[in-house]
Structure 1
Amino acid sequence: MSDRDKYEAKPDDRSDNVEKIQGMVQDTIQNIEKSHDTMKHSSGEDKEQIKAKNKRREEAIEGMRQEIKDEADR
């Protein structure tokens, strides 16, 4: 087996992409819910950091949902 054969790219298998992305959406939603509990016991800068992170999470969810739609349209 040559070095080239060892490092050859595997075929792109997207058959379960939608399922994987849906799982990532669920995990992200759970992280947002957990952070709401943490925020109850936080204040000041910690609370602001959690809010900022949740905003990024919500943006990521929007992107993942668009990706699910794109994958489903294939």
Structure 2
Amino acid sequence: MAKPDNREDNPARIQNAIDNTMANLNEAEEYLDEHADEISAVDKESIESKNARRKESINGFIAEKQDETNAQE
């Protein structure tokens, strides 16, 4: 028998994902600020690319959280 779909905690789980992604983004930006002159151009580009994807993910999480919140109302 399949478990019932319990989505009550989805907004909280999505917020947790937003918080974690923001923390990783901020940590990477701080690292670049402090060590940009010490790392290779390839590594710098890699970190910048990851941060761009993190920003896209955050925007997606925010939209998903809004959808979940609206669905619960």
- TM-score bracket for the superposition, by shorter chain length: 0.7 to 0.9
* Cα shift at 1:10: 1.7
Is the counterpart of residue 37 in structure 1 residue 30 in structure 2?
A: yes
User: By how many angstroms is 1:37 displaced?
Assistant: 2.6
* Cα-Cα RMSD: 1.1
Per-residue deviation, 1:36: 1.4
Normalised by the size of structure 1, how large is the TM-score? 0.83
Q: Which amino acid aligns with 2:25?
A: I
Match of 1:51 in 2: 48
Please list every run of 5 or more consecutive structure 1 residues that lacks an aligned counterpart in the other structure.
Answer: 1-7
Residue number in structure 2 paired with 1:73? 70
- Superposed CA deviations along residues 15-35 of structure 1, whole A, max 9, x for unmatched, are 000000001000000001111
Per-residue CA deviation, residues 24-71 of structure 1 (Å, 9 max, x unaligned), is: 000000001111132232331100000000000000000000001101
Question: Percent identity over the alignment?
Answer: 40
Separation in structure 2 between the aligned mates of residue 63 and residue 16 of structure 1, nearest angstrom: 18
1:23 correspondence with 2:23: no
